[in-house]
Chain A
Amino acid sequence: MFIHLENMCFTYSLGMPFETEVLKNINLEIDKDEFIGLIGHTGCGKTTLIQHFNGLLTPTSGKIYVEGVDLNKKGVNLKLVRQKIGLVFQYPENQLFEETIDQEVAFGPRKLGLPEGKIEKRVREALKMVDLDYSLYAERSPFSLSGGEMRRVALASILSIRPKMLILDEPTANLDPRGRDNILSEIKKIHKNFGMGVVLVSHNMEKVAETVDRLLVMHRGEIIIDGAPKEIFEKHANDLVEVGLGLPQVTECMHKLKAKGKDVYTGVLTVDDAEREVLKKTNKEINV
């Protein structure tokens, strides 16, 4: 178990007039190499939850362990935790500040106290992971880039720390379909090639469900569904609709067909899935 949460609760402004209970009774186990999607509406607590993973917030009750270390204990080395868990906030391009991209990506490793030689290696490696050519980008100002490029530099600046798990809050926010697909495939590659665990936070159900192996659905501070995407769409579609999270069009289609008495498999996510299922049920030749 890499991250372990036990009956964790969190209340903002505890004891003050505007106290709000944001997280209730979270029980969660995440292994080191999982690829997880965390879905829910704005206000369901997902951003608050992930801020606990690297110690930015501490639970008001309950426990959280990262690689066996109790984050609540006195004297915990949070810097070490933040090296293991790389947290990338929404619109990470807003955190860029250095004069050159090289310095920007080197910020993290430098704070870790690595020697200069190692730092350069990390920077080259990190930029490669996000498909940016070191020789073309290193000396440029981060502010001279396009929005999508800036986001990749910001991502690289976390990757250079070599975290064991990457947590990304709405990595596709405000990107057009091309940008969104690019960054999702980059993240998937990083997960596969570098063995980094990934938690993707999003409210874009469709794209995330297609990409991840495990889906956590949050609502009003609780994790209400936890499972494989196809299984969730098959068995929990109603719950998803109830909490206001849409279903992909094809999934909705299958469920509506089932409601009309047709015997179809409803755990479909993509057009490929749906095509295959329809062809199966209409006894047509499958050449997929």
Chain B
Amino acid sequence: MKILRNISFGQYIPRDSLIHNLDPRIKIMSCLAIIISLFLITEYLGYLILGSFVLISIIISKVHPKFVFRSLRPILFIIVFTLIIHLFMTEGKVIYQLGFLKITQEGLIKGLLISFRLFILILTTSLLTLTTSPISLTDGIERLLSVFKFIGMPAHEIAMMMTIALRFIPTLLEETEKIMKAQMSRGADFESGNIFNRAKNLIPILIPLFVNAFRRADELAIAMEAKCYRGGEGRTHYRELKIRKADILTFILSVLITIMVSVMF
């Protein structure tokens, strides 16, 4: 687990590209627009256009494709599983038969389309997290949510929670490793036994971890107060977000494409 100490958390890969330098708010909104339109598309051409848009963006981002596809790995199973379900479970014209398993033409098409949809969905979100640092992301989310402050949206609080969570993930992972080793040293076994046993065996890890996390939260709150924190009112920002020409153009482009594919196709 020491590996985790050496690699920065999150998927962020710093590069100097057009995409990296975009305002995070624009990126988040474009990402959302693409994802929404993914579910509104009805024609193949729509998928093609959207897919190309995403792939071109990946190329522009200068992030090596291997990182991009690495983010697909955990979902690969779901994509394949979905494909198989649709292949074998959809009614229609049978094109291939293996024993009692039937693959239908409709199933093939539907399966491929839905898998492709998932594929683009993951690629889009990965593109966002690969090209936007965690701080930028939380900043962007905070600013976007601030728009809804008038209906009581706690934008600042949400952003603060995200930042603190991101900050402490590596620390808590380290803590988990330490607790595991300590419990193993007095005979705890996390590997053998059935599912129920293994779940029960997690208690000696979870309870100390929770206690630890609560204590940290307490101390952190005091430290924050000592640094004059009293909520979101009157706070300024260390990092400025500026909308530039590239941002406006990107936004217009994304909106156009998404409207185009969802309305026209």
- Name which residue of chain B comes closest to A111, CB basis: B187
* Beta-carbon contact of B188 and A111 below 8 Å: yes
* Beta-carbon contact of B187 and A79 below 8 Å: yes
The reply on B227 being an interface residue by CB < 8 A is no
Q: Which residues of chain B have a CB within 8 Å of any CB of chain A? A: 2-3, 6-7, 175, 178-179, 181-189, 203-204, 207-208, 211-212
Residue pairs across A and B with Cβ atoms less than 8 A apart, 11 shown, are: A18-B2, A18-B3, A18-B7, A56-B185, A82-B185, A82-B187, A94-B178, A94-B182, A97-B208, A111-B187, A111-B188
The reply on A107 being an interface residue by CB < 8 A is yes
| With contact pairs A94-B178, A95-B204 given, residues A13 and B2 touching in the complex (Cβ less than 8 Å) | yes
Q: How far is the CB of B75 from chain A (nearest CB, A)?
A: 24
The CA-CA distance from A143 to B207 in the complex, in Å, is 11
- Name which residue of chain A comes closest to B175, CB basis: A94
Which residues of B sit under 8 angstroms from A286, Cβ to Cβ? Answer: none
The CA-CA distance from A53 to B165 in the complex, in Å, is 35
* Beta-carbon contact of A56 and B184 below 8 Å: yes
| With contact pairs A95-B204, A95-B208, A143-B211 given, residues A108 and B182 touching in the complex (Cβ less than 8 Å) | no
The reply on A243 being an interface residue by CB < 8 A is no
Q: Which of A12, A20, A158 contacts B186 (CB 8 A)?
A: A158
The CA-CA distance from A83 to B2 in the complex, in Å, is 26
The CA-CA distance from A117 to B178 in the complex, in Å, is 31
Q: How far is the CB of B219 from chain A (nearest CB, A)?
A: 14
* Beta-carbon contact of B3 and A97 below 8 Å: no
**Most chain A CB atoms below 10 A, which of B3, B182, B185:** B185
For the complex with contacts A18-B7, A107-B187, 10 further pairs of A-B residues with Cβ separation under 8 Å are: A13-B3, A56-B181, A82-B185, A83-B187, A87-B185, A88-B185, A89-B182, A94-B212, A95-B182, A97-B208
Q: How far is the CB of A235 from chain B (nearest CB, A)?
A: 35
- Name which residue of chain A comes closest to B203, CB basis: A97
* Beta-carbon contact of A112 and B187 below 8 Å: yes
| With contact pairs A16-B3, A89-B181, A97-B203 given, residues A161 and B208 touching in the complex (Cβ less than 8 Å) | no
Q: How far is the CB of B199 from chain A (nearest CB, A)?
A: 15
The CA-CA distance from A12 to B178 in the complex, in Å, is 16
- Name which residue of chain A comes closest to B206, CB basis: A97
In the complex, the 8 A-B pairs of residues with the closest C-beta atoms, listed nearest first:
A111-B187, A97-B207, A95-B182, A18-B6, A87-B185, A108-B186, A89-B182, A12-B2
* Beta-carbon contact of B178 and A96 below 8 Å: no
Which residues of A sit under 8 angstroms from B2, Cβ to Cβ? Answer: 12-13, 18, 20
The CA-CA distance from A26 to B7 in the complex, in Å, is 29
The CA-CA distance from A143 to B2 in the complex, in Å, is 30
* Beta-carbon contact of A158 and B204 below 8 Å: no
The CA-CA distance from A143 to B214 in the complex, in Å, is 13
The CA-CA distance from A83 to B188 in the complex, in Å, is 11
